[in-house]
Structure 1
């Protein structure tokens, strides 16, 4: 006997119930024509970052391209009414859908499986469906049970992984209507020819973004509720995606390290110092455990580590990496109330934007670096030495209001460009005008952060 919950979920789903759907800029590529053996497109990311809504956006796009709704199946497996979810549950879902819409079986279906990791042996089941069904398949996965490397292992090159982060500043502007979507999306990004009023609104919007962040559910909440909800996100990731998933025997150490790491947003995190500090407050631990936990936090999209890059392929830097939270609002909610870290959150937001714009880079494709002669720091070096790509150099600073700051921020770029034959560097400034600095045929472009974020 078929499960009545499955039939009810399929029949009652109406995408209108989820409107408005804020358009996300994550490009899933052109939709594949339904056939057996298709590549599976998998959207991964931290909990509550909007993966389900990105699937809804794709469904709407397919419908606009002419795919009728009776060939589109959406099913969310995260529902306690389903009981224990097994491959048989998945089979029931497809049987119920194809019974109601036999034309989808003949013509090919577009299947959207949300939170598929709730199914036992989901990988083996999905491989069977991929191999034997005329379909185009999209999957979302919570990082607690479905990681990118697990998808790669399960599908052996038969899946495409798409990383969805919380709102970028561009998406934040669109969601809040700071400028109209038409002006935001149609404007020539290379000129940024906004009116004076729009520029003021965008600058204020950036300041809000660095405090509120990009998790969709917190956008309209009062400050105390926003902070509480963001802190609960951290607790849930630590407990579900780290402690439970990896059978961590010291949950208090995991929670303390998460607070410490997020509080170190945009700074180096020395595990040796963390170990000593935790021991001093009665939490015995080891650097080995702390290192494992940081790796688990990365797997769960709570934070990222940015390592220092040696510009020589034969060398490897041993410097302590910096850590960046998944979202500036999450970092703000996790930091000390007396700490002002606007500059670090701007730097973090730039890192996340570089990550969005450089999909597919190897781990060190975005790194920090020091110059050879004076060891001046470059915030971000973007490029891939193994692909012989030209490096892009970025400095990030809150302002360039005095000569000392100008000298400090430009000297590292001048030296790095001279050492490695690069012609251009970029300074992204939180508040300041757009201008160029020139020296010996080299140029440093200073650009306001809001404008840089809105460039395609």
Structure 2
């Protein structure tokens, strides 16, 4: 188990602070492991194990007792008198009325509370309603390539770097794939099972979706078209050709369900010159591109799209807010903002021809500000020009 230090660095300042620590992310991305890492940190600080209350609300123990009063009573029984206690609740959305229990815990006991959930909008929405500003949210994602590289290094460097990245390109970063050292067929079976769980539990059941076949077709459309400008009319036309009809409102409802389940990201466009957010032709990216390989295939063939997806998710991991940039009639793949910092990125497979070089560099050259600008490709040679830096994607992913 690796420590996932980048997440711990974000969480540490809030340990023992009177705010709820909320860890959200797609199922099986490592949220439960993060709770274990926080517990280890507390014990290293001298906290007695008896001060830690840990409940996994998906375990069999809680299948038949999912009432909020039972949760409250269970925690109350374990609170030690005159002691600071630490409460860890995994997959909190499994308890109806959980937000009322959290509010009661804050009022009645001296608790430092950490919760996880697989529905980001549900958690943030309910907490905002009941707790005001008394929570802080941390987005947990599947393994970055750097984390996969670190696991491989701890295993004695069993895989060469190109082989390691090739597998990551195809199978994504869900932690169990790398922790369990399973073969490719088992990896695909595991990813398929996670996908089914996300669709059925976090999208269908949560949102009472009746037409599951239509939802599956929409999800396949999204996976095929990652990195391409999204258009609801284009999706409607695609489904009409398959003799399925739906409204534009339904399309966006389903997209919202996918975002809430931490499965996909709808990325807005920004007019860089006009400083306006454009509410059309957004792009879709997946939280983990391994699902695409399992459900659709062709990650290697569509490497340009998948590389964009990998870079987009890496920027989220590094704490950037990301948009797609528009400069006149051209596009910048990513505009990444973090505080006062801004960086522009173009992503391509290789700069094999002069036309490709021009396509990737010219939109960045048209931006008149002095923020850093990068072109990321799989090339090993450096074609930086006019202040625009050209980097190898693997080196970018492994950088601090």
Normalization by structure 1: what TM-score? 0.80
Q: Separation in 1 of the partners of 2:11 and 2:277?
A: 35
Is the Cα–Cα contact under 8 Å of residues 308 and 369 in structure 1 kept in the other structure? yes
Q: Separation in 1 of the partners of 2:263 and 2:97?
A: 26
Question: 2:131 maps to which residue?
Answer: 155
Counterparts of residues 8-407 of structure 1 (less than 5 Å): 20=1, 22-23=3-4, 25-27=6-8, 28-30=10-12, 32=14, 34=16, 38-82=18-62, 83-98=64-79, 102=80, 105-143=81-119, 146-177=122-153, 201-219=160-178, 220-311=181-272, 315-337=276-298, 340-358=301-319, 365-372=321-328, 375-383=329-337, 389=340, 391-407=342-358
Is the Cα–Cα contact under 8 Å of residues 374 and 389 in structure 2 kept in the other structure? yes
Q: Separation in 2 of the partners of 1:436 and 1:313?
A: 27
Question: 1:3 maps to which residue?
Answer: none
Matched pairs, number: 396
Is the Cα–Cα contact under 8 Å of residues 121 and 260 in structure 2 kept in the other structure? no
Q: Separation in 1 of the partners of 2:121 and 2:61?
A: 20
Q: Which has the higher Rg, Structure 1 or Structure 2?
A: 1
Structure 1 stretch displaced more, 295-304 or 147-156:
147-156
Counterpart secondary structure, 1:221: coil
Q: Tell me by how many angstroms 1:370 deviates.
A: 2.3
Counterpart secondary structure, 2:96: coil
Q: Per the alignment, do residues 351 and 144 of structure 1 end up closer, same or farther by CA in structure 2, a change over 3 Å counting?
A: closer
Q: 2:361 aligns with which of 402, 405, 410?
A: 410
Q: Separation in 1 of the partners of 2:120 and 2:397?
A: 30
Q: Tell me by how many angstroms 1:313 deviates.
A: 6.0
Q: Separation in 2 of the partners of 1:34 and 1:371?
A: 46
Q: Separation in 1 of the partners of 2:123 and 2:34?
A: 18
Q: Separation in 1 of the partners of 2:46 and 2:35?
A: 17
1:429 aligns with 2:351: no
Q: Separation in 1 of the partners of 2:255 and 2:373?
A: 32
Is the Cα–Cα contact under 8 Å of residues 14 and 21 in structure 2 kept in the other structure? no
Q: Separation in 1 of the partners of 2:237 and 2:297?
A: 20
Is the Cα–Cα contact under 8 Å of residues 203 and 450 in structure 1 kept in the other structure? no
Q: Separation in 2 of the partners of 1:221 and 1:266?
A: 29
RMSD value, Cα: 2.6
Question: 1:184 maps to which residue?
Answer: none
Question: 1:455 maps to which residue?
Answer: 399
1:445 aligns with 2:389: yes
Counterpart secondary structure, 1:320: strand
Counterpart secondary structure, 1:232: helix
Q: Separation in 2 of the partners of 1:106 and 1:70?
A: 13
Counterpart secondary structure, 1:113: strand
Q: Per the alignment, do residues 296 and 224 of structure 1 end up closer, same or farther by CA in structure 2, a change over 3 Å counting?
A: same
Counterpart secondary structure, 2:223: helix
Q: Tell me by how many angstroms 1:278 deviates.
A: 1.6
Q: Tell me by how many angstroms 1:41 deviates.
A: 0.2
Structure 1 stretch displaced more, 302-311 or 425-434:
425-434
Unmatched 5+ stretches in structure 2: none
Q: Tell me by how many angstroms 1:162 deviates.
A: 0.6
Q: Separation in 1 of the partners of 2:375 and 2:23?
A: 32
Counterpart secondary structure, 1:383: strand
